[in-house]
Structure 1
């Protein structure tokens, strides 16, 4: 009898264990995502998450961090840290030496002129009669994670790119996007696209453009979200390190946008205030509804770039009350977007990643005022200095064709006329230009082609060097040394203040947690690819962040 009782107990235990295991297994199964949302915040330093932490609500940045996976030590691993390069690297999972986008603008040594990353005269503007839509992603040489998702689903899922800046909408959406939309300012004040994607704007975009939302935002002055006296994380509002809007005497709150817009290129002023981010959120929501994203059997991808943060940072700088207010308001925008996604897509049906395209340096003139080494370089004086080198060693002042993005492009024809080689001239310039005040390192293209740098800032420079497109001598300035006005700030270097940015994964298939380990921005694309169980972009060199995934 006892034997049979034991047998029954054991059998019941096995059944119960089996059921429990199945339930646990069921809980660990990640269902297919209906929508992926990639969010890139333009010019967001990592420390904006910690610096303004006490003023953020629980539904924006904190919701993503507390319920997602946050990388606290994530960096860009290349130079230069510019907008187009950042967006491309995030979505391709590789660096400029592979994907070919080496700047926002760069000198084309074949066409002998400066070019813009997404200009393409083969296409026309869709939305108005201007030239703002003559764009495409053709200069980007590799695929994006958005491309790979489209390919994996036999071009059935949708990809939509959105950003106030054209490059921030076009490059993330990839070559196969259904659409990319950006904001045309000036006298236009409307969202447009390119004939690369479509022949005419869909009705939902036309409706949005005629809704009056832009004017409604511009009819309000820019005041601080909270009492300005509580903005203790920033320096004084009235200081000498910030630029003003045209028509202002001092860079202080409130900014009278209704009266300033006419002096600041009319509708374009919305790019430079937090309302530009609000407009972007509104348009992203309209896109989800208008394109029916996340409502079918295929996975859709929406790329969203918040660009007003960059305009504000350039104008007012990292330590300004304007940048603080912009991020406190962005926190509200993220909360609004997340609530919208919960309602329209479903809490367990979407995943998000949030990162930045670069960070920013504190205003060097401010740093100098508190006795921190910082400096400004003059591009005119520097060109004169380089010409003096070639005059001294080669009796020639026409060897330099262009200097831009801290790269020197040499004139091959003029050098060969002197029976010299570009390699020899580049070596002499590199050896001597290091003596220029403010230049920390100089290196030739030949050295970058023949030497492997495995760490340090020269590794970053090498990752950003593209043999076909980059210059003949590449330069690294001293820390906090820029070519810019003495008010406001910029970015572009390989130093931590430009490279350290947030990476947060959130949503379906993402574990809760954080990591203090070093990670690179190029790890995002292969991680999202693995989440979606698709092939990584064809030039990807990043690694899967497996600890972020269920």
Structure 2
């Protein structure tokens, strides 16, 4: 039964309804900061975080020190996969994904279908523009199975955001540019920066104008000399520890010339080892900022610039991260970055720019230096080890040749021959794994059966190696060396690629005062966290394969 209101009650209700409603708004909150006009992602190829910490007090005011003091620095940041090489590390930066998803399992690897070696960014459907192109040259991101942050940014803005990447290495540019950006890479036969027909059919006018100036020729006859006073290098390894092959130099000063006496391909190739390649890369990046009007997008949307500085990797390979050359080179990179930041401040305004700096991998010391520190360190002849494995399997299983191709740390078995011989795959895998574990310098092996079934143990090493293993592309066994051991021959230099901290621990610096809280952060972080963090700040969808987290502790 509905109760009828009395006349006084009706009058009161009518009066109340006639009054304006009092709306209680939610407490005011700070406005969401505007998106950056330009995101700059810097990758210093082959830079261990240890070097940033060790040489920090020698940096100038405007480069790495500026990022360390005005940005967020994560000292416990890692390339968190077990095969730490250039292509995989660059893929991680803007996909936020691991190799088991993004499909880039090395710089080169064996195609299980053909048994032949393939290069991470090769695609014979495309060619360099106005440059010689070999079948194995890197021209396209075809083998990258996922998208990148740049792809998501362009998708969200209807293609109006510009994404440009430049590097001394093709894979450094291509894997940062993603599927829909544009990559430019250094040509070591001509010294030009060029793109490929994947991206365009003809270079834009600004690139043609840049190439016409031949800036790469200005370093002929120049000398790379120490930047700092002699006392600054007192803690570096003695040059005599790293006796490089005849005809090359292992000390400063280091001159750039050609045996022919002319500017030629030998000179352009020599430029890759030392600071001038990185200077050329940053100069081209400046030209790209102006030519593409990056950071001043007329549509009012953010742009993205990826810059991979390749020379530090070449220097560390040749001389080791403990060397005077590596030490001096990083100081020069620091000064170059200071000039680049000053340029961006004048061109775009650093208040409008978000900068991220990281590395694709770290580096161990040379075995010669490690042994002076009483560390067990050696090089392993991978070819000899594979020859011995082939013989062992043949002897054990009645003469059948069961070893297929290999590209260490991945090893492929010949499953067709295994089945033809009436053998079980797991039996052969186990026999191979046990043999490899008995070899000098090998600490662990993982088989396809273990990796597919999840039976590999739960150590951190196992986690990193599982992430590095792609079911379709990787081998049937993966092998891990002891700490400070690596696959290589010769008697000088060093290499990387392991799951150990000296290879995984890289700098992760983020600077942008409108978005980032400055400070040194001790929280564990990964390079795959970069893409989700940038996606959050740009308010776009994370890339499809991204597994990292948003680094919320560093955000304003």
TM-score w.r.t. the length of structure 2 is: 0.91
The corresponding residue for 2:201 is 199
Question: How far is 1:455 from its partner?
Answer: 4.0
Give the match's secondary structure for 1:122.
coil
After the TM superposition, which residues 86-125 of structure 1 pair with which residues of structure 2 at under 5 Å, given as runs? 86-125=89-128
C-alpha separation in 2, matches of 1:526 and 1:242: 44
Give the match's secondary structure for 1:443.
strand
Give the match's secondary structure for 1:302.
strand
C-alpha separation in 2, matches of 1:467 and 1:283: 38
Deviations 1:413-434 (A, max 9, x none): 2222211233321122112321
Which of these residues, 460, 477, 482, is aligned with residue 478 of structure 1? 482
Q: Which has the larger radius of gyration?
A: 2
Q: Is the 8 A contact 2:400 2:417 kept in 1?
A: no
Say yes or no: does 1:536 pair with 2:542: yes
Say yes or no: does 1:173 pair with 2:172: no
C-alpha separation in 2, matches of 1:343 and 1:524: 26
Deviations 1:294-339 (A, max 9, x none): 1120111000000000011111111110001100000001101111
Question: How far is 1:32 from its partner?
Answer: 1.9
C-alpha separation in 2, matches of 1:331 and 1:501: 16
The corresponding residue for 2:295 is 294
The corresponding residue for 2:518 is 512
Q: Is the 8 A contact 2:363 2:502 kept in 1?
A: yes
Count of matched residue positions in the alignment of Structure 1 and Structure 2: 523
Question: How far is 1:219 from its partner?
Answer: 2.8
Deviations 1:355-385 (A, max 9, x none): 0000001001221233211122112220122
Which deviates more, 302-311 or 223-232? 223-232
Q: Is the 8 A contact 2:121 2:137 kept in 1?
A: no
Question: How far is 1:230 from its partner?
Answer: 2.6
The corresponding residue for 2:154 is 150
C-alpha separation in 1, matches of 2:465 and 2:137: 32
Question: How far is 1:256 from its partner?
Answer: 2.1
Q: Is the 8 A contact 2:237 2:369 kept in 1?
A: no
Give the match's secondary structure for 1:266.
helix
Give the match's secondary structure for 2:42.
strand
Q: 1:535 to 1:57 in 2, by over 3 A?
A: same
C-alpha separation in 2, matches of 1:66 and 1:134: 37
Q: Is the 8 A contact 2:258 2:266 kept in 1?
A: no
The corresponding residue for 1:546 is 552
Say yes or no: does 1:65 pair with 2:68: yes
Give the match's secondary structure for 1:265.
helix
Q: Is the 8 A contact 2:242 2:250 kept in 1?
A: no
Question: How far is 1:129 from its partner?
Answer: 4.3
Give the match's secondary structure for 2:241.
coil
Give the match's secondary structure for 1:517.
coil
Which blocks of at least 5 consecutive residues in structure 1 are unaligned? Answer: 1-17
Question: How far is 1:397 from its partner?
Answer: 5.1
Which of these residues, 215, 222, 225, is aligned with residue 223 of structure 1? 225
Deviations 1:81-127 (A, max 9, x none): 00000000111101000000000000111122000000001112213
Question: How far is 1:133 from its partner?
Answer: 6.4
Question: How far is 1:254 from its partner?
Answer: 1.2
Question: How far is 1:260 from its partner?
Answer: 5.8
Deviations 1:235-260 (A, max 9, x none): 22x3132525x634x52221121256
Question: How far is 1:514 from its partner?
Answer: 2.0
After the TM superposition, which residues 292-371 of structure 1 pair with which residues of structure 2 at under 5 Å, given as runs? 292-296=293-297, 297-371=300-374
Which of these residues, 184, 187, 209, is aligned with residue 184 of structure 1? 187
Q: 1:154 to 1:261 in 2, by over 3 A?
A: farther
C-alpha separation in 1, matches of 2:47 and 2:97: 20
The corresponding residue for 1:493 is 498
C-alpha separation in 2, matches of 1:133 and 1:500: 29
The corresponding residue for 1:526 is 532
C-alpha separation in 1, matches of 2:427 and 2:137: 43
Question: How far is 1:549 from its partner?
Answer: 1.5
Give the match's secondary structure for 1:84.
helix
Which blocks of at least 5 consecutive residues in structure 2 are unaligned? Answer: 1-24
C-alpha separation in 1, matches of 2:58 and 2:324: 13
Which deviates more, 440-449 or 208-217? 208-217
Question: What is the RMSD computed on CA atoms of the aligned residues?
Answer: 1.9
Which deviates more, 411-420 or 55-64? 411-420
Say yes or no: does 1:374 pair with 2:380: no
Which deviates more, 77-86 or 253-262? 253-262
TM-score w.r.t. the length of structure 1 is: 0.91
C-alpha separation in 2, matches of 1:538 and 1:261: 50
C-alpha separation in 2, matches of 1:227 and 1:210: 37
Question: How far is 1:437 from its partner?
Answer: 1.1
Which deviates more, 303-312 or 433-442? 433-442
Deviations 1:334-358 (A, max 9, x none): 1011111111111211101100000
Say yes or no: does 1:161 pair with 2:199: no
C-alpha separation in 2, matches of 1:380 and 1:152: 48
C-alpha separation in 2, matches of 1:523 and 1:173: 18
Question: How far is 1:515 from its partner?
Answer: 0.9
Which deviates more, 201-210 or 188-197? 201-210
The corresponding residue for 2:461 is 457
C-alpha separation in 2, matches of 1:134 and 1:435: 37
The corresponding residue for 1:14 is none
Q: Is the 8 A contact 1:221 1:257 kept in 2?
A: yes
Give the match's secondary structure for 2:76.
strand
Which of these residues, 398, 401, 408, is aligned with residue 398 of structure 1? 401
C-alpha separation in 1, matches of 2:544 and 2:141: 16
